[in-house]
Amino acid sequence: MTQAAPAGTPAFTVDDSGWVVGVRHCMSPNFGPRPSGTPVVLAVVHSISLPPGVYGGDAIERLFTNRLDWNEHPYYGEIRGMEVSAHFLVERDGNVVQFVSCDQRAWHAGRSHWQGQDNCNDFSIGIELEGLEGEPFDALQYPVLVGLLTALAGRYPLRAVAGHEHVAAGRKCDPGPGFDWPRLMAALAWPDRCFPEQVRLTAP
């Protein structure tokens, strides 16, 4: 799916090794190879804040690079020892950090299922938005997400965008009701089939 970035959104470029040009790179050790011959067809939108509801700081970056001090906050004890990552983090101010090449398999979706396929990490790109499920996301994050998805769709055969809640129903609830799916759909102007049925049913 190839198209120019919509007006008013950042135009990103993905290089031949799966890294986006011009954003900050902070390499995570938490990745692996995709199964041979597996195309990247899905983008999974997540939300994250550490501690929950606290924005800013470098705790997310330290989590994704296995440097988080588990004793620093009571909540961190609940996730002690987790080794996770995502391809991208879009911060509240719209800044982007990339942790894993899009050619590689990041550890973001966990047990998951999408359109007849298990293990979404194998065929997806994970994009974390700094935020808390149920709370609104910052207006600055939407055009950046649109620009990223547009660039990724120009480099990979993406055919769908879903939330973590859609690929891990009953286990995860992010990005949650605070995420404006109609806004994303209108900005991308991709066919309705590219979005989860639950989202299409609630779109105006």
Q: Any idea which residues carry the catalytic annotation?
A: 128
- CA dist 25 → 96, 108, 124 (Å): 9, 17, 19
Does the N-terminal peptide bond of residue 52 adopt cis geometry, omega within 30 degrees of 0? no
Full 3-state SS string of 81-128: CCCCCCCEEECCCCCEEECCCCCEEECCCCCCEECCEECHHHCEEEEE
